Structure 1
Amino acid sequence: MAFRGGPPPAGAIYLDGQQPSLPDPLITAAENALVKVTRDRQFPIGIEGATVPGRRGYGTKGTAITLRSNYFTITTAFEGKTPEFEQTWYRYDVDMVPEPSKQKRRRVIVELLTHQKFCGIQWASDFVKLIVTTKPVDLGKGKEWVEKMSVPQESSGPSAAAGGQQTAPQGPPPAFVQQAQARNQVAVRITHTGVFNVRQLIEYLRSTLAGAEYAVSGDVIQLANIILCKPPNSNAFITNAGHNKYYPYEGHPGAEINDLGAGLEAIRGYYASVRPAVGRLLLNLNVTSGAFYKPMALPLLVREFGGRNKEQDETFLCRLKVRAVYKKDKDATPFMMKMKTIVGFAKENRTVTPQVLVMRFGDADQVKFQYTDASTPNAQPREISVNHYFRQHHGITLRQPKLPVLNVGARSDPQYLPQELCEVPPGQAYNRLLNSNQTTKMLSFAARYPNLNAVSIAGSVQNRGSAQKIFGLAAPGNAPTGNAQLNSVQPWGFRVGVDMISVPGRILANPKVNYATKQISPRFGSWNLAETKFTKPGKFTSWKFLVINRQGRNSLAQPEQISTQLGSALKQYGIQMGRQAPPSTILVNALNFDNRAANDGTLEQAFKQADEEGVRLLFCVLPEHDRWLYARLKYYGDVQFGIHTIGSIGSKLEKPGKGQLMYMGNLALKFNIKGGGVNHTVAGTFGKLGSNTMLMGIDVTHPSPGSKEGAPSIAAVVASIDEHLTQWPGSIRTQKGKEEMVAGLEAMVIERLNMWQKKNANRLPNNIIIYRDGVSEGQYDLVLRMEMPSFYAAFEKRYGNKKNWPKVAVIIVGKRHHTRFYPTRSQDADARSWNPLPGTIVDRHVTGRILREFFLQAHQGLQGTARPAHYVVIKDDVGFEADELEQFTHNMCYLFNRATKAVSICPPAYYADLLCERGRCYLHSTLQEDNGSAGSATGNGEDWSGGVHPRLEESTFYI
C-alpha cells in the first residue's frame, strides 16, 4: 500500500493508483454465519453473571464503499506447517514486599531479568506485574521462586538533597541507616500462573458456533500486547505515556518534536493494541501526539514557562523529575548525579527541636534546616542555610542563590535542592491543560491529513512506517519481504501483516433539517442558518449586556453599538428577548492569583446587581480567555444567583462584515436554547419507537493530574423532555474521586422521570434509550451490574408493577479509541481533508464476535484525521434492528442544539459530557489548580457538591 506523503491534489486516488484489495469475503461469510446463532440470544460478559444481547444483524442502508483501516492481520508464524513450530507462552506474576513505587518496581524487574534463570530464554515484560517467556523458567521446587533483592538506583552516589539529620559513623550503622538499607530491599516472588497458545485463540475467533468459548482469550491478548510492546518499552529513547502509547524523544532517530512554547514541546508517538475480531486476530496501530516538558536546565525551563507568580511556577513543576548534577566549583566532571521528584517549593515549616522557620517560596539563603556535621565527632545539630550547606558540605558555590529552592522530599519531610543544580531529562509527559496558544500549536502539529498518518503507520512497500519500526514489525533494512517478513514477534510464534486491512463501509444519507420557515438539506454534514427562524422561539423577561474590562485592556471599543447589533440579530431569529436592562461595565485587576479575592468580589457584585434588576440572562463580554474568570461567571450564574450566562471574547464580537453576522447567529443558538426554545428538528427521528421515548445521556468526569489530593469525580445525567430533542435538563453531583460508576444514580433517574412527566401531560415514557459515555471495554459489565439496578429501583418507585416499566436500551459511546478509516476512492472522500464523508459507518470486519457494535463518523472531519464514534449495545429491550439503531443514532447527530452541523458523537452523550465540564467550573481550583506544597488554592465556591439554582433546574443552562 503506497499512500502519498503530503496534501492530496484534487481528485487524487489515495493509493497512488494502486487497486485496493477488497474486503475478505471469508470474514463476511463468518460474520453472516455468526448472526444466525447470536440473534435473540444473551451472552455472558465479565465474571459476575452479567449478559449482553448478541448481534441481530448488520446494517445495509447507505451507499456501499471500501475503506482501509489501521488494523493489521495477526497469524501464527508457521501456519500450515507442523505443530512443532508453534510457541507456547509461559506467564509469571511478580510480587514484591514491601510494595515499591512504579519506577522502583521497573528497575527491580529489569535487574531480575538479568538473572541466570532467564539466560537463553525469550522474555517480555510489562515491567509492572507480568513476565512472559517462550520456555519454562526453572523456579526450583513448586511454582514459586523467592529472591531478596536490592532496588537498583537510577544513579550512584550519596544523597543529593540537603536537609535531614546526619550523624558521624561510630560503631554499628545508626538505626536510620539500617532502616534506609532495609527500605532499599524487597522480597521478590515469581509465580508461574499459566501456559497459553496464540493458535488456540485464533481458532476460537474463526469459530462460527455461538457457544464457542476460549476462557483465557483475555489473558492471551494481554500477553500479546506485552510482547508487541517490548521493543519500545525497552528502548532508552522511547517513553511510555499512557496505555500502550510510546513516544520516541530527543536522541531517537524517529523522533518528531514541535515547540509548544512556555516550557513544553509536542512529540509524535505511536499506539498499538491487539484486538479480537470475527475470524481473525488484529493489531491496531495508530499515531498519537502528546505534550512533554522540554529537556533543559530547570531555571531556563521556569523562565520559559513565564508563570505570573510562584504559585503558577510551582503548579507547573509539581511531580516533575529532575537530574541533580553535583559538580565542585573547580571541577569539570560531576562527582554525583541523582534523580529527584519535585514536590513543590519550600513552604512554612518548623522542625521540632529547635524551631527553625522556613519561608514560603524561600531562596537558598532564606531556607534553613538542622544539620549535624558527620565529619566532626560529637557534633551538635545547628541551623544552616541551603546556600551555606552546599558551599560547606559539597564545595559548590551557588550562582543563583535567590531562586526559590525546591522540595524534593515529602511535604511532611522536606529535602531542599537549589534549582540551578537541576536538569530536566527528556520524555516527561505534561498531563495538565494546555493554554490557548499551546493548544493551537498542538492541534497544528497533531492534526495531519489522513494519508500522512497512514504513511506514519504503514508507510509504503519501499519504506515501512514509523509505527511498524517502533514496534519492531518492519523487516531489517526495510526489505520488502511481504507478509512473511521477519519481525520482532516471529520468535513468539506469530507474525503481523504489513498492509492495512480493507473493510466494507457505507455512507448514510443526510437527514433533512426543519426550521419554522423552511426545510434544509445539509451538504457535507452542515447547513446555513441564514434567513431562518427557530422552530420554537425562546423567551426571556429581561436580559443585560455586561462588559468586563481588565486593567490595561478593554473588551470592546464601542459596547453600546455592539449591544444594539446583538439585540437586533437575536430578534431576527424570532427570540423574544423581553426588556434589555441598561448595559454595565466593570473593571477587574490583572487575572492572577494575587488579585483573585478582589476580582471575585467585583464579579459577585455585578451578579447581585443584575439579580436585583430582575435579569434572567447576562451576556458577558470578556477581555480574553481565562479559565478562572469563565469558571467564576458560571458558578455565580448557575449556582448562586440562577441567572443564565453567555460569554464572548470582545474581539470576536467586533469581527467585520459577514463574520460578525455569522458569529451572532451562533450566539443566537445558545440564547434560544437557554430561553426554552427549539432551534430545529429532524423529521422521523424516532421511527417505530414513537414520540413517548426519553433519551438519556450519562457521563462521569474524573480529577485530572492537576487536581488536589482527594478531589471528587463529577457525575451527570441528562434527559430529553419531549419529541423535539432540543431541551435537555440534567442532574449533576460530585462523588468519590476516580470512581466510574455513578453514585446516587437512582435519585437522578427519578429527577429525570419527574421532569418528563411534568412536561408531558403527566405521562411517563414508554421507552428509555440510554447513551452512556466514558466507559472502557472492561467496565461494560459494571454498568449492567452496578448502574442498571438503580434504574430498576427508580422504575419500581415511579411505575409500580414491573409490567408497566419502560423498555430500556443501553448503548456505550466510545470516543477515545484508535480505530481510523481511510477512503480508497476520491468520490468517497471529503475533497478538503481526504477524510471519509459524513455519514460513513462501519459495522463489519473490525468488530467482535458477539457484541453489537458499529463505528459512525457522522461529522465532517475538516482538520486532521477524523475519529469515528464507537457505539456498543449492552442492553436492548427495544429490539433494534441494525439499520434502525444506526439510522436513529445518525439522525440524532444532526440535532445538536448549538450547531448547524452534524456532530461527532450523539447529543445525549455530548450533553452529559458538557454538563460534567460545567461541574468542573464550580470546582475550578480543586480540579485544576493543585499547587504542590502550597496547600489549598485560591478560589471560592469549592464547597459545591451538586445541583444548580432552582431557577435553572428545568433548563439546558450548560450549553
Structure 2
Amino acid sequence: MAGPSKRRAQVEKKQSSSSGDSSSPSRDPTQRSTPKSIPHLDGNRDPNAKPDAPIAYSKPTDLKNISEALGLAGWYVARGFTVPDSLPQRPAKFNNQGRESAVTLNTFNVVSSPTRPVHQYDVSWGSNTDSTKRVLLKKLWNSRKVKLALGEPNNLWIYDGNKLAWSGKELPREETRIEVDLDDEEAKELAAQGRPARVPRPGAKPRDKNTHTVYIRHTRKVDFSGLQYFLDGQAAYSSECIDTINFLDHLMREGPSRNYTQIKKSFFQRGEERFDLGGGVEAFKGVFSSLRPVLNDSYKKSLSVNVDVANGTFWRAQEVTRAVGQVFNCGPPQFQTMFKQAKGRWNESSLKKDLRRFKRVGVTAFHVKGNESQWTIEEFVNKDPYEQEFPDPDDQTRRTTVGKYFKKKYNLNCTANFPVVKMTKKIRGGPVFLPIDWLRIDVNQRYNTKLSDIQTSKMITFAVTLPAQRWNAVMAGVRLLNWANDPYLLHYGLKISPTPSKVKARVLPSPNVQFAPGAGSVVPKGDLVKGRWRLDGRKFVLPNTERPIKAWGVCVIQGRGASSQADVEKFFQAFIKGYENHGGKILPHPKFGKKPWMGPGNLADGGELVAKAFNACGAHYNTRPNLMFFIVNDRNIDVYRRIKKSCDIRFGVASQVLQSKHVNKAQGQYISNVCLKVNAKLGGATCITKSEVIPKIPNGASKPTMIVGADVSHPAPGAASAEAASFAAITVSADPFFARYWADVQTNGNRVEMVTTSNIDNHFGPMAKLWMTKVGKGQPPKRVLYIRDGVSEGQYAAVLEEEVRDMKECFKKIGCKELPKFTVVIAGKRHHIRFFPDQGDNNKNPLPGTLVESGCTHPHEFDFYLCSHVAIKGTARPIHYQCILNEADFAAAELQSFIFEHSYQYVRSTTPVSLHPAVYYAHLAADRSRAHLSDSPVSSGKKETKAGDAKSSTGSSKKDVEVGPLQALSNIMGLKEVMWYI
C-alpha cells in the first residue's frame, strides 16, 4: 500500500534528525512512528494511489471530483485498495426499541437513471495553460471553438470544471485536440456587442498571444447496470460504480450551475433578498443538493437526492473604498491615518493581515466608461497611487506612478494615502496595480473569512428557522432546481421524484436519569421526553468529596461595569448555599468559615493579575488555593484565555470565570449552572443514567468498557490560518458510569486531520494507564468504543490505519497481553439531512431519541441518524453516526441506545445534548487549550485574539511553517484527573 505523504515524511525526517535532543519526545507534537497506508484528505498531498483507480487521487485537485456519501468501501475502491473484511455491514434487522414515529426527510428518490450510453472523457491542457485557474478553464471550456468541436448545443456535455467531462455522443477520434485563441474569442464577443476590439501592443510575439490547447481523450463508457448490481447487492463496489455516481452527481448540478451562482453543491439566485451582516458582508439563502446511494424509504437500495437550505455569506457588491470603510468601521480620513502608520512595518502590521480577507475577490475596474474590465485581487501593497511605480505603457523608457498615469490617460484623480491593489493577472510580464477608487466588487462574491462575533450573531438570526419555515424553504429549493424541466436531466434521462421520502423512525426509550438518593433523585420520564429538567432540590450523584472547597478566592476585575463588593458578597452567599444544597462539599475554615477570600484585580497587571490574586488568597489561608473565581466585565476572549493560561499552566488550580452582569443579578438558575461546572472541575459529576434497554441485550453492558472521544479542531479561515495551529483533543471515560472524562490536548500541526502518533503515545497512553489503575482495577478494558468527530468519508480509513493502530500500540506498551476489542464510530454534524416528524415537540422538531435507519442511510454499511436533543432554536440537526469497525461486537440496538442514553449525562446542563459527551468534551478541551499556546497575548482589553498564530512543519500552506507545542498543564494539585476544561 502507499507510503506516507510528503509532508508527513518531512516530519519523520525532522524527528529522526533531532533524535539527539535532550527534550522530552512529547515536545514534538507532529512525529510519526511508522509509515501510514491510506492517502489523506487533510490538506496534505496524497501519496500515489494504485494505477487502476478511476482518477489520479494523488493530485489534490482531483479529490474535488469525488462525490460524497460513497461510504468507506467506496473510498477504498476509489484509491485502488481492497475493501477490508472488517468493515461492518448494515444490521439484518432495524432497531425495534421504543415506539414508531413517521418522519418526512428532505431526500427525494431517483425514479429512473439514464438509459442511453454516456461516454467519459479526460480533459487536459497544453503547457501554456495554468490548470489551477478554474476561471480560465471554465472560459476555455465555454469558448466558441470548443463548443463547435464538441457539437453543442445539439449534444449537451457535462464538465466537472477540472478534468472530467461526459457526453452522450462519442467523438470520432480517441483524442481530440482543440486550439483556442481567447483574444480572438474576446474580439468576436466585443464585436457582437458593438464594442471596439482591444488593440494588441506593438511587437507582440506569437507566443505572447492568449492561445491554449484543450485535449479531450475518451476513457470509458459509463456503466449504469454495474451501479444497479451494486445497489442490489449482486456485485461489489467498483471504480465504475464510483464513476457512474460521479457522473450523475455532476449531471444533476449542470443545469442549475448555468442559471445560478454555484458554490460547491449549493446554488444561489442572483435576485435573492440580501441580509446585511455588517462589515461589507451580506447573507442570502440558496439551495443545496447532493446525490447519493441510499437505503430508501421503501427499504430498497437506490439513489436519492438530498435537498436543503444553503446559507451563504457574500461580499456586498459595491465600491472597494466603501467596502474597506465598512470592514474597518471608519471613514476615509481614519483609514488613511491607519495606512500611514502601518506602511513602515507593513509585513508585520495588523492592517495588512486584516486586508488579506480581500484576497482573490473578483472586482470590476470602471475607470473606462463603456469598457469595464474584470480583475482578481492578489493583495494590497504598502504604497499609495502616487508612490507605486510601473513602466509607462506609452513610453517604455521611463517609469510613472499609478496616480500620474490615471490623470494623464483618463483624467481621473486618485486618493492619496490609500493602498493600491496588486492584481493576480500580469501584463507584459509585470504585475498590474490599480487604485481602489475605481474598483467595484462583483456580485455574489463569496466571503470566506471567519465572521466577527457581531456578524456571527446576525448570521444565526438569519439562518435559524423553525421546521415549518425550513421545510417551505426546502420545497422552494426543489422548485428552483426544476428537475422536470432541466434540459440536462431530460437529455440524459435522469428522473427525480418531487415527493419527499417518508420513513418509519423509532423514538428510543429514555434512560432513568438518577441524582444522589433523596428527594428528586429520579427525573420524571415526562421531563426526559421534553428534554429539560430542573436541578432544584436535587443533589449531584458524584459530589466533590475527594476535593472539597477549602482555600478559595474571588478576584474582581476592576474597571467599567465591575461588580460592587456588596453584589459579590451577596452572590457568593447564594453560591455557598446553592452548592451545598446540591451536595457540594465546602470545608469551613477555623477563622474565616466558608466565606472565600475576595480582592480586586487590575488588567494592567497583565500576566501577573492571576499571580497576585492566587498568592493573596494563599497567604489569606496559609495554604495553596484549590479553587479560584474571576469576575470579568465583558466577554473578552483574551482576558479569559490569560486567566485560564495562568491557572492551568502556572498554578494548576481549578478556575471559574464569571461575568459581572450575571453576578450582579445572582439568579438561581445561573448559580446552579455555575455549581454544575465547579463540581465537575473538583472531580464530581451531575447525574448518571440507568438503561432499561441495554441489560436486555445479550452481552450488553457486562464487559468492562472504555469510551474514547477525539476531535481535531483547525484554525478558522482567514488572515493567519495558514500558520495557525490545529489542536488534537482526546478524552477517556474516568469511571464505570461514563459520567466523567479525562482530557488531554496538544497541537497537531497546521490543518493535519489525523491525530499524530506522538499525541496518541504521550496523551492517550497515560490516560489508558490511569484508566487501568482507577477504573479497571489493574486490568485493561475488554472493549473500547472510540467515537471520532470531524472527519470526512475520505478520512475514515486513515482513522483505522493510523489512530486505532496507534491506540492499540499504546495498550501493548503498557503491558496488555490481550488487547481490547475496538468499536469505532464516526460522529458527523456537517450534513444536510433533517427530520420533519408528523408528531414532534411544540416546534415540530423531533423528540429526543428519534432514530432514522432508512431513507437517507448507506445501502450496505452500518450507519444511522440520531437526534438525541431538543433544539432550543430553529430546526434540530441529527448526528450521523457511522460504525467503521466493530471488533467488540456491539449489537446495533446496544450501540444506538448507548450513544443516546449517555447524552443525558452531560455534566454542564440538565438537558440531553446533541452529540455524545465524549466528543462534546473533546470540543471543549480543544477550545480551552488555545489559551495554552506559548504566544497567547497579555491583554488588557483587545477583543480579537491572535492566539492561533503558530507555525507548523506539517502545514498545508506553501510556506515552511512551524507549530510549537502547548505549554504543559500543571498537575501539582491533580488538575489532569478532573474535568479542568469544563
The 3-state SS of whatever aligns with 1:755 is helix
Output aligned runs, 1:233-632, within 5 Å: 233-235=257-259, 238-241=260-263, 243-249=264-270, 252=271, 255-278=272-295, 279-307=301-329, 311=350, 315=354, 317-319=357-359, 321-327=361-367, 333=369, 335-344=371-380, 346-347=381-382, 363-365=384-386, 368-376=387-395, 378-379=397-398, 381=399, 384=401, 386-398=402-414, 400-408=415-423, 416-458=433-475, 465=476, 467-475=477-485, 488-516=488-516, 517=518, 518-521=521-524, 522-538=528-544, 539=547, 540-550=549-559, 552-554=560-562, 558-577=567-586, 582-588=597-603, 600-601=606-607, 603=609, 609=615, 614-632=624-642
2:767 maps to 752
Structure 1 residue 409 displacement after superposition: 5.6
Partners of 1:392 and 1:149 in 2: CA distance: 36
Partners of 1:421 and 1:548 in 2: CA distance: 48
Is the contact between residue 116 and residue 168 of structure 2 (CA under 8 Å) also seen in structure 1? yes
Is the contact between residue 106 and residue 500 of structure 2 (CA under 8 Å) also seen in structure 1? yes
RMSD, aligned CA: 3.5
Partners of 2:609 and 2:493 in 1: CA distance: 66
Partners of 2:178 and 2:684 in 1: CA distance: 70
Is the contact between residue 726 and residue 895 of structure 1 (CA under 8 Å) also seen in structure 2? yes
Match of 1:815 among 824, 829, 833: 829
Match of 2:176 among 139, 142, 145: 145
Match of 1:726 among 739, 750, 757: 739
Partners of 2:269 and 2:564 in 1: CA distance: 46
User: Aligned pair in 2 of structure 1 residues 376, 779: CA closer, same or farther (>3 Å)?
Assistant: closer
Structure 1 residue 816 displacement after superposition: 0.8
User: Aligned pair in 2 of structure 1 residues 770, 389: CA closer, same or farther (>3 Å)?
Assistant: same
Structure 1 residue 946 displacement after superposition: 6.5
Is the contact between residue 375 and residue 425 of structure 2 (CA under 8 Å) also seen in structure 1? no
Greater shift, 407-416 or 912-921, is seen at 407-416
TM-score normalised by length of structure 2:
0.76
Match of 1:900 among 910, 915, 918: 910
Percent pairwise identity: 25
2:977 maps to 954
Structure 1 residue 654 displacement after superposition: 3.1
1:89 maps to 118
Is the contact between residue 95 and residue 189 of structure 1 (CA under 8 Å) also seen in structure 2? yes
Partners of 1:622 and 1:447 in 2: CA distance: 30
User: Aligned pair in 2 of structure 1 residues 500, 104: CA closer, same or farther (>3 Å)?
Assistant: same
Greater shift, 682-691 or 501-510, is seen at 682-691
Match of 2:139 among 80, 104, 107: 107
Partners of 1:859 and 1:851 in 2: CA distance: 25
User: Is 2:166 the partner of 1:132?
Assistant: yes
Structure 1 residue 900 displacement after superposition: 0.6
Report the residue type matching 1:432 in the other structure.
T
Partners of 2:237 and 2:539 in 1: CA distance: 57
Is the contact between residue 725 and residue 963 of structure 2 (CA under 8 Å) also seen in structure 1? no
Partners of 2:540 and 2:241 in 1: CA distance: 53
CA-to-aligned-CA distance 1:48-93 (integer Å, 9 cap, x gap): 333402223320101112211111110226xxxxxxx822222222
Partners of 1:153 and 1:428 in 2: CA distance: 28
1:712 maps to 725
Output aligned runs, 1:61-100, within 5 Å: 61-76=97-112, 86-96=115-125, 97=127, 98-100=130-132
1:783 maps to 799
Partners of 1:546 and 1:587 in 2: CA distance: 9
1:116 maps to 149
Is the contact between residue 537 and residue 574 of structure 1 (CA under 8 Å) also seen in structure 2? yes
Is the contact between residue 228 and residue 471 of structure 1 (CA under 8 Å) also seen in structure 2? no
Structure 1 residue 829 displacement after superposition: 1.0
Q: Which runs of 5+ in 2 are unaligned?
A: 1-72, 189-199, 296-300, 339-349, 588-593, 937-944, 952-956
Partners of 2:950 and 2:439 in 1: CA distance: 22
CA-to-aligned-CA distance 1:259-283 (integer Å, 9 cap, x gap): 2223222211211111112321111
The 3-state SS of whatever aligns with 1:52 is coil
The 3-state SS of whatever aligns with 1:509 is coil
Greater shift, 523-532 or 757-766, is seen at 757-766
User: Aligned pair in 2 of structure 1 residues 113, 59: CA closer, same or farther (>3 Å)?
Assistant: farther
Is the contact between residue 44 and residue 52 of structure 1 (CA under 8 Å) also seen in structure 2? no
Report the residue type matching 1:748 in the other structure.
H
Structure 1 residue 676 displacement after superposition: 0.8
Partners of 2:923 and 2:276 in 1: CA distance: 30
Report the residue type matching 2:659 in the other structure.
I
User: Aligned pair in 2 of structure 1 residues 879, 171: CA closer, same or farther (>3 Å)?
Assistant: closer
User: Is 2:720 the partner of 1:700?
Assistant: no
Partners of 2:900 and 2:681 in 1: CA distance: 25
Structure 1 residue 696 displacement after superposition: 0.4
2:783 maps to 767
Partners of 1:749 and 1:388 in 2: CA distance: 64
Partners of 1:929 and 1:710 in 2: CA distance: 6
CA-to-aligned-CA distance 1:637-669 (integer Å, 9 cap, x gap): 33344333333332233347xxx1111111111
CA-to-aligned-CA distance 1:864-920 (integer Å, 9 cap, x gap): 111111111111122222211111111111111111101111111212222222234
The runs of 4+ residues in structure 1 deviating greater than 6 Å are: 151-157, 410-414
User: Is 2:811 the partner of 1:795?
Assistant: yes
Match of 1:873 among 883, 907, 924: 883
1:55 maps to 90
Structure 1 residue 214 displacement after superposition: 4.9
Match of 1:189 among 212, 215, 240: 215
User: Aligned pair in 2 of structure 1 residues 325, 796: CA closer, same or farther (>3 Å)?
Assistant: same
Report the residue type matching 1:722 in the other structure.
D
Structure 1 residue 630 displacement after superposition: 3.0
Partners of 2:430 and 2:642 in 1: CA distance: 35
User: Aligned pair in 2 of structure 1 residues 647, 444: CA closer, same or farther (>3 Å)?
Assistant: same
User: Aligned pair in 2 of structure 1 residues 554, 149: CA closer, same or farther (>3 Å)?
Assistant: farther
Partners of 2:717 and 2:542 in 1: CA distance: 43
Report the residue type matching 1:537 in the other structure.
P
1:33 maps to none
Is the contact between residue 425 and residue 431 of structure 2 (CA under 8 Å) also seen in structure 1? yes
The 3-state SS of whatever aligns with 1:500 is strand
CA-to-aligned-CA distance 1:370-415 (integer Å, 9 cap, x gap): 4443434743x47x4x5444324543112x4344444546999976
1:830 maps to 841
1:666 maps to 673
Partners of 1:623 and 1:872 in 2: CA distance: 43
Match of 1:743 among 734, 748, 756: 756
Partners of 1:259 and 1:468 in 2: CA distance: 26
Structure 1 residue 186 displacement after superposition: 4.8
2:701 maps to 689
TM-score normalised by length of structure 1:
0.78
User: Aligned pair in 2 of structure 1 residues 290, 101: CA closer, same or farther (>3 Å)?
Assistant: same
Q: Which runs of 5+ in 1 are unaligned?
A: 1-41, 78-84, 158-168, 348-357, 459-464, 476-485, 589-597
1:914 maps to 924
Partners of 1:44 and 1:131 in 2: CA distance: 21
